[in-house]
Amino acid sequence: MSYTTSPEVRASAPGFLRLAGHPVRWQLLGELARSDRQVRELAALVGQRQSLTSYHLAQLRDGGLVTMRRSSADGRDTYCSLNLAVYRERLAESGAALHAGLRLVPAEPAPPTGTLGEPPRQAPARSPVRVLFLCTGNSARSQMAEAILGRLGGSRVEAASAGSRPKDLHPNAVRVMRERGMDISNARSKHLSEFADQRFDYVISLCDRVREVCPDFPGAPTMVHWSIADPAVEAADQDSYQPFVRTADELNTRIQFLLYAIEHAQTISGRS
């Protein structure tokens, strides 16, 4: 008896798998899944020469998995970010290419469970996860992030924001949030010193400059950096409202993935 292989199986592995599966690139993706990083930081973290690290990052950038932008704190540095939405799409496509049953969909938080015929058990009460967003002015990015996380996270999270050099809330930040059903018009810009003695689970810097001056917080929170351009600066250059729309969209995507990570961490801690 002879056997033949289908054309789909004979085809080479999807380019995404070859791209992401290289040991060094997989390490780089793992580091960027946790936080945006400078190229030199990534070289140290993966234990490779900076030239080789840059080569692999360029491969990931050309494949659409990583974006790179000049630091707003020091133009000689470059920050790298993992494009989580694209990564998820390529991963789902790769699974479906092997079998339709392997098409991935975003995970949903598990509902309370009970035995058959009984009402669901209530999940154990948990203190909300506290997240602090930081940028320089606390006038746009961090205020927008606070509002989005508060909306998407509900009672699971407690969001706050502050800046190293607070200034008045930008009217376009108010506008873009209002268009998404969130009113931040009465939000107050705050200096990060107001939170210096408070405990947070996550401290997320959204600005390259504030990352350089971020103080230590009690309780060793998870420190994360999202290198996001200041929409007010971009709008001044382009005379456009669109930078605020792009920033809100990017924050919305990143915060959705943050909530998956929070849910996973709580599930793991509940098992331990």
Asked if the structure places residue 124 within a domain, the reply is no
Task: Give 40-103 as a DSSP string.
Answer: HHHHHHHT--HHHHHHHHHHHHHTTSEEEEE-SS-TT-EEEEE-HHHHHHHHHHHHHHH-GGG-
pTM, two decimal places: 0.85
pLDDT by residue (tens digit) across 109-124? 434 433 333 444 444 5
Question: What are phi and psi for residue 119, nearest 5 degrees?
Answer: -65, 150
What average pLDDT does range 217-245 have in this prediction?
89
**pLDDT for 108:** 52
Token output for 175: 């506008």
Q: Is residue 116 part of a domain?
A: no
Decide if 80 is catalytic.
Answer: no
Give a yes or no: residue 65 inside a domain: yes
Give the Cα separation of 91 and 64 in Å (integer): 13
Closest C-alpha to 91, from 110, 80, 75, 105: 105
Expressed in angstroms, the distance from the first to the final Cα of the chain is 53
> Active site residue: 73, 131, 177, 207, which one?
207
Backbone CA torsion sign across 88, 93, 99, 101: positive
pLDDT tens, 211-221?
999 989 999 99
Please say if 207 is a catalytic residue: yes
Whether residue 135 lies in the annotated active site: yes
Q: How confident is the model at residue 13 (pLDDT cuts 50, 70, 90)?
A: low
Q: Specify the 3-state DSSP secondary structure of 39.
A: helix
Q: Is 177 helix (H, G, I), strand (E, B) or coil?
A: helix
Same domain, 178 and 243: yes
The model's pLDDT over 184-214, given as tens digits with 9 standing for 90+, comes to 999 999 999 999 999 999 999 999 999 999 9
Least confident of 16-25, 185-194, 203-212, 260-269: 260-269
Percentage of the chain surpassing pLDDT 90?
67
Question: What value does the mean pLDDT take over residues 49-63?
Answer: 96
pLDDT of residue 109: 45
Same domain, 65 and 134: no
267 pLDDT band, cuts 50/70/90, is confident
* 29 falls within a domain: yes
DSSP class of residue 206 equals: -
Residue 104 lies in a domain: no
Averaged over 117-143, what is the pLDDT? Answer: 78
**Which of 80, 98, 116 delimits the end of a domain?**
98
Q: Is residue 23 part of a domain?
A: yes
pLDDT at 4 over 80: no
* In a shared domain, residues 79 and 187: no
Q: Which residue has the higher pLDDT, 10 or 197?
A: 197
Q: Which of 96, 214, 261, 265 is catalytic?
A: 214
Q: 145 and 228 share a domain?
A: yes
b/e burial code for range 172-206 (CB count within 10 A of at least 16 → b): bbbebbeeeebebeebebbebeebeeeebbbbbbb
Confidence at residue 23, expressed as pLDDT on a 0 to 100 scale: 96
Q: How far is CA 237 from the centre of its chain?
A: 26
Give residue 245's pLDDT band: very low, low, confident or very high (50, 70, 90): very high
* Residue 125: pLDDT band with limits 50, 70, 90: low
Number of structural domains the chain divides into: 2
- Specify whether the CB–CB gap between 29 and 63 falls below 8 A: no
Query: For residue 177, what pLDDT is reported?
Result: 97
Tell the burial category of 117 from Cβ atoms under 10 Å away from its Cβ (0-12, 13-18, 19+): exposed
Q: Per the domain annotation, does 112 fall within a domain?
A: no
When pLDDT is averaged across residues 126-139 and rounded to a whole number, the result is: 94
Catalytic residue among 65, 131, 135, 248: 135
User: Alpha carbon of 111 to those of 25, 105, 120, 157: distances in Å?
Assistant: 35, 17, 9, 17
Domain coverage including residue 181? 129-271
Smallest Cα–Cα separation from 138: which of 129, 128, 151, 147? 147
The pLDDT score that the predictor gives to residue 95 is 83
DSSP 195: G
User: What is the number of residues in the chain?
Assistant: 272
Burial class (CB in 10 A: 0-12, 13-18, 19+), 15: exposed
